[in-house]
Amino acid sequence: MKSYLFFKTLLGMIFLPIIMKLNKNIIMEGKVRVKSFPYIHLKNNSKLHLGNNVMLNSSNYGYHINMYKGVKIFADGINSEIHIGTNTRIHGSCIHAQSKITIGENCLIAANCNIIDSNGHLTSMDSPENRIDTIDFPQNIIIEDNVWIGASCIILKGVTIGNGSVIAAGSVVKSSIPPNVIAGGNPAKVLKSNSKNVQNEKRLK
């Protein structure tokens, strides 16, 4: 099993960057590190922008926790966009955009996360029997630079996560998180802030 995983990882590292360069809807600003085979599906003229030295890791080989599935990048809105910044690492997680998802530079996204800019359906509480036929309206997601998202988090539509923040494993982020804090829970709330940064922000006001 180990030799199979190693071989699959090696094939992805060698061939996937070449295949990705040939796709006109994937814009690469430099080299991209790929471990094993991610699922990338871009519909309706959607675009994927990858900064230099981005890592897409879909392999359990050598990874420190169990990864249930590989990286999934799915953009299916009209002209929807996914931007992933320089030096960002994504491990076995799903990014699904119907509008626009922006992930900054130097971000760490651990395994089994879901980052989705739409709920899929309207709640339709007044007529739940019609819910199955409804389509939800997407709202952009922004994950700023230097953010660390722990394993098995869910990031929902309309959210901004500020520069330098950490999202604890297993959290559900349904409202925006300020910069330089540790947040966690369901729904995610600020658990700890960087007091120095808070003091500096107060002085600037």
By CB atoms closer than 10 A (0-12, 13-18, 19+), residue 64 is exposed
Q: Quick one: which of 165, 170, 200, 163 has its CA closest to 186?
A: 170
Count CB-CB contacts under 10 A for residue 122: 14
Tokens 């966009």, residue located: 81
**96 flagged as catalytic:** no
Q: Which two tokens stand for residue 35?
A: 């471990």
Give the CA distances from residue 101 to residues 17, 64, 97, 193, 202, in Å, rounded to whole numbers and listed in that order. 22, 27, 6, 25, 30
Q: Using an 8 Å Cβ cutoff, are 56 and 32 in contact?
A: yes
18 SS3 class: helix
User: Which residues make beta-bridge pairs with 116?
Assistant: 96
Give the CA distances from residue 156 to residues 26, 34, 77, in Å, rounded to whole numbers and listed in that order. 24, 26, 16
The residues carrying an active-site annotation are 121
